[in-house]
Amino acid sequence: MASRSCSNFFDLASGGLLDIPHTPRVLPRVMTVPGIISDVDGYGSTDGDSDVCHERKIIVANMLPLHAKRDAETGKWCFSLDEDSPYLQLKDGFSPETEVLYVGSLKVEIDATEQDEVAQKLLDDFKCVPTFLPHELQKKFYLLFCKQTLWPLFHYMLPMCPDHGDRFDRSLWQAYVSANKIFADKVMEIINPEDDCVWVHDYHLMVLPTFLRKRSTRIRLGFFLHSPFPSSEIYRTLPVRDEILRGLLNCDLIGFHTFDYARHFLSCCSRMLGLDYESKRGHIGLDYYGRTVYIKILPVGVHMGRLESVLNLASTSAKIKEIQEQFKGKKVILGVDDMDIFKGISLKLLALEQLLKHHTELQGKIVLVQIVNPARGSGKDVQEAKRETYLIAQRINKDYGSPNYEPVILIDRHVPRFEKSAYYAVAECCIVNAVRDGMNLVPYKYIVCRQGTPDMDEAMGRKSDSPRTSMLVVSEFIGCSPSLSGAIRVNPWDIDAVADALESAITMRDSEKQLRHEKHYRYVSSHDVAYWARSFMQDLERACKDHYTKRCWGIGLGLRFRVVSLSPGFRKLSIEHIVSTYRRTNRRAIFLDYDGTVVPQNSIIKTPSPEVISVLNVLCNDPKNTVFIVSGRGQDSLSEWFAPCEMLGIAAEHGYFLRWNRSSKWETSPVAADLDWKNIVEPVMGLYTEATDGSNIEIKESALVWHHQDADPDFGSCQSKELVDHLENVLANEPAVVNRGNLIVEVKPQGVSKGLAAEKVLSRMVHSGNAPDFVMCIGDDRSDEDMFESILSTVSSPSLPAAPEIFACTVGQKPSKAKYYLEDNTEVVKLLHGLATASSPKPRSLPHIQVSFESTV
């Protein structure tokens, strides 16, 4: 298929899929700033004769919401919509004018000779775009990698030995990536990146966002994970853990069923990628290269209309009467589960066995009907689970049954929806005992069926105002558990506790059952699948609202690709540009941070290199320059390291100490004479150091710093937040400020900052008659933001005869008050070399370094 936009989606170069006349599109939005597209008057407006381009959503899932079978007579493929698919049902959450397209695979294999015809039919009739994965790729991608590697891992099962899951196979991972790439190609065939929203579903397609983001940096992209997300201790064992995390982070919004799953994902991002998250007006956001990736927590719901329509069927009412007659005088407990090792069917049976053993009065009065859905995967573990289930059921029926009574009824076949609904409607109690499950909508369906409908009441001869009751026993390890506050929550591994829960559910008073049911029904009926879809899309729109207010560009190769998103005026500092300005100015002020700016941030060697010393000496020896190192480090270290630089100014401990050159005396900040608060802070920090393995205290003359870079990331972050709160309380009336930085908590005097130090230097230059006409400031962390802000405000002062040229530059592509950026300290040193070569007097000798003059980005 050729690429299509919203207006010409059906009008393909191949002749067009439908006979829809082509309507010329209005002029596109105009790019006024590089990378920024702004609205112009009239964009999107139409006159009375123009066609309106409706909103479109593209839903991408592993399987299309379709049934497929061959016609026995014609041999042609016949397709029909799968009315039970949540991907089809979520359309109810969109406006009627919204066009919804689906991208995914079919559940059947289509011969290559028939694929074009089938693809055309599916697009015309169902707005579906099939991916047609080759057979071998589909097997490796879905059956082997998704079901045998990702599925067990996401359900907390590690391949400790060959009998417990398959070990990681790089070739299967490559198949997974290849399949995701094919899905991306199909999406790009039909998408208009400026206008369409793409919603990707589930763990089969976790690197798809990377491929889509690479094609269009501003694509509106959401992802929802329908399975659990494991804790970092489990997830970190996956050899491709970073690639998958980065894939998900290329979305604008990532959805999870529960906060637990979201918390695990955020912990993995923190521990493996070093990313921090915060709550922004009630929404959790991760800052990822200038983009905010939002986290959505909302469990999927059921389709009320679909369930109620099945309850209204005559076949359902007839089946209900049949079941009531079959189990007359007995209470029915219902279980509906897939046959796999995570659904806990055998544990459920053991709990029933325990219940019958200790409560003999219930023998002959309760029946567990266990409906077993066909297994979605294959393998030895499924066969073992099935074998164990049958053995336990046979034992229970033998020990506690009679010729006319079986405590356990196993229904291991395809069960039509009307029959399932009938069992839901009859059951006194429903138990979902999974040891790990993503969502599981069985409890929701049970609640709706127990509520019934007016038509069903009439068919059953039941009064419409008669009280409705239901009881749920749910595992605390399933996604819907937090939303069912009236259910009895259990640990499925605790057989005794599950047995007790079943006994409580059966013997509970009807009045209490009614109250629990009413509470659940209110939630389930108001939080249906349409509500879920509508809420997700609203949050996706909110997450994408800044797409066109920032400059975006892609960096990174392969699956490490990501988008950097920064403010329009933020650009890379061109050496050619700054050197040109440097040459034509005569009174220059240069401020340089130390760690992360002139030396690498994470280097074990903290002393400046001979190259840095040499280039700083050249800059300092130019009489037109005033050069300062402005650092949070102590005066002793900086004095020792920069002893060879006679004319270099140093502002130590964020400017608490300031020295204009090596021969001048240190000046102490007059606003911070009282340091008695250190006697309060040090014991508090000592408590947290003792309690936090890997942390330490750095004692400066004017400040105290608590470092936790070697502590557990989550615990260190938690302790640092607590320490900040603790210190702010005890220092409420003291002249000190508490700052939380990158893996540190620092307490320093009020009125001391790098910004104030820079202001002091600039003010003295102005008062001495040497008002600067060139100011350059380079730094890499939060404390340097004060310096950028201070310089911008100081140089705009009316006391200056003319506004100087300002170059505020941060290190690394990240949100900043600076206008420019350089990638790393290597580029900083290269820039300093460029300035040094333009200095007067010319340097006699400089270490050889290649300086490239590049145009401004």
Q: What b/e string do you get for 160-180 counting C-beta neighbours within 10 Å, with b at 16 or more?
A: eeeeebeeeeeebbebbbebb
Coil, strand, or helix at residue 437? strand
Dihedrals φ, ψ of 351, to 5°? -65, -40
Judged against a pLDDT cut of 80, whether residue 378 lies above it is answered with no
The residue-averaged pLDDT of 104-113 equals 93
Amino acid at 279: S
Contacts of 851 (CB under 8 A, 6+ apart): 575, 830, 833, 834, 837
Tens-place pLDDT, residues 17-71 = 333 333 333 333 333 333 333 333 333 333 444 444 568 999 999 999 999 999 8
Tens-place pLDDT, residues 270-324 = 889 988 888 877 789 998 988 899 999 999 999 999 999 999 999 999 999 999 9
Helix axes 442-451, 304-311, angle to 10 degrees: 50
Judged against a pLDDT cut of 60, whether residue 844 lies above it is answered with no
What is the predicted pLDDT for the residue at 46? 36
Dihedrals φ, ψ of 774, to 5°? -150, 120
Residue 379 pLDDT level (bands cut at 50, 70, 90):
low
Higher pLDDT, 796 or 670: 670
Amino acid at 356: L
The residue-averaged pLDDT of 432-445 equals 92
Residue % of the chain over a pLDDT of 90? 62
Higher pLDDT, 124 or 732: 124
Residue 682 pLDDT level (bands cut at 50, 70, 90):
very high
What is the predicted pLDDT for the residue at 42? 36
What is the predicted pLDDT for the residue at 712? 87
The residue-averaged pLDDT of 682-705 equals 92
Q: What are the start-end ranges of the E strands in 377-435?
A: 408-411, 429-432
Q: Which of 658, 641, 649 is nearest to 702 (CA)?
A: 658
The two structure tokens encoding residue 63:
């399987």
The residue-averaged pLDDT of 636-658 equals 92
Tens-place pLDDT, residues 509-523 = 999 999 999 999 999
Judged against a pLDDT cut of 60, whether residue 756 lies above it is answered with yes
The count of other CB atoms within 10 Å of the CB of residue 640 is 10
What is the predicted pLDDT for the residue at 842? 53
The residue-averaged pLDDT of 133-161 equals 90
The answer to whether 630 and 643 are in contact (CB under 8 A) is no
Round to whole Å and give the CA distance between 630 and 12: 61
The residue-averaged pLDDT of 667-683 equals 84
The two structure tokens encoding residue 124:
């015309």
Judged against a pLDDT cut of 90, whether residue 328 lies above it is answered with yes
Helix axes 610-621, 825-837, angle to 10 degrees: 40
Pure H helices in 555-634 = 575-583, 610-621
Q: Which of 148, 191, 139 is nearest to 169 (CA)?
A: 148
Contacts of 258 (CB under 8 A, 6+ apart): 297, 299, 479, 481, 482
What's the whole-number average pLDDT of the chain? 86
The residue-averaged pLDDT of 801-812 equals 87
Higher pLDDT, 28 or 329: 329
The count of other CB atoms within 10 Å of the CB of residue 432 is 29
What is the predicted pLDDT for the residue at 851? 43
Per the listing, tokens 């800044």 go with 546
What is the predicted pLDDT for the residue at 793? 80
Helix axes 575-583, 825-837, angle to 10 degrees: 30
Residue 162 pLDDT level (bands cut at 50, 70, 90):
low
What is the predicted pLDDT for the residue at 287? 87
Round to whole Å and give the CA distance between 79 and 118: 10
Helix axes 782-794, 754-767, angle to 10 degrees: 30
Q: What b/e string do you get for 335-369 counting C-beta neighbours within 10 Å, with b at 16 or more?
A: bbbbbbbbbbbbbbbbbbbbbbeebeebbbebbbb
Instruction: Transcribe 459-502 into DSSP letters.
Output: HHT--TTS-----EEEETTBTTGGG-TTSEEE-TT-HHHHHHHH
Size of the chain in residues = 857
What is the predicted pLDDT for the residue at 840? 67
Least confident segment among 31-40, 84-93, 529-538: 31-40
Coil, strand, or helix at residue 627? strand
Tens-place pLDDT, residues 616-626 = 999 999 999 99
Q: Hey, which residues does 367 pair with through a beta bridge?
A: 332
Per the listing, tokens 């710093």 go with 705
Residue 458 pLDDT level (bands cut at 50, 70, 90):
confident
Tens-place pLDDT, residues 165-219 = 567 899 999 999 999 999 999 999 999 988 899 999 999 999 999 999 999 988 9
Residue 369 pLDDT level (bands cut at 50, 70, 90):
very high
Dihedrals φ, ψ of 440, to 5°? 70, 100
The residue-averaged pLDDT of 242-248 equals 96
Please tell me the pTM assigned to this model: 0.78
What is the predicted pLDDT for the residue at 165? 58
